[in-house]
Amino acid sequence: MTSSRSWMSAAMFPPSSNLLLMNSYLFLGDYVDRGCFGVETILTLYAMKTNYPKSVVLLRGNHESLQMSTFFNFKEECEHKYGQALYNAIIAVSYTHLTLPTICSV
């Protein structure tokens, strides 16, 4: 966690509202199942996307799925900290609102 905190402070994260309005941010998926703060990570990203929809792009990774989040304990973490209703809401948002990445070949 120390390394990510120093990276975040060096990158001015969370960015100020001025930075979010002037720049675009692309997040490439797999936001959950990376440690004990998966719920907080995805909720922070959803809040950024909600507040700055034109500046933040969230792509869905394979971990933002029912099968993977259950296998890698995100479901257990979410239910333990916040309950089943929040887990269901996160999965629903992940399926309906996150863009699936595409593979392009040249």
The residues with which 56 forms a beta bridge, in sequence order, are 25
| Residue 101 falls in which region: left (phi positive, over 0), alpha (psi -120 to 50) or beta | beta
The rounded distance, in Å, linking the Cα atoms of 77 and 35 is 10
Active site annotation includes 63: yes
**Structural element, H or E, at residue 9:** helix 2-10
Question: Using an 8 Å Cβ cutoff, are 69 and 75 in contact?
Answer: yes
Query: Of these residues, 48, 63, 75, 98, which one is catalytic?
Result: 63
Catalytic (active-site) positions? 63
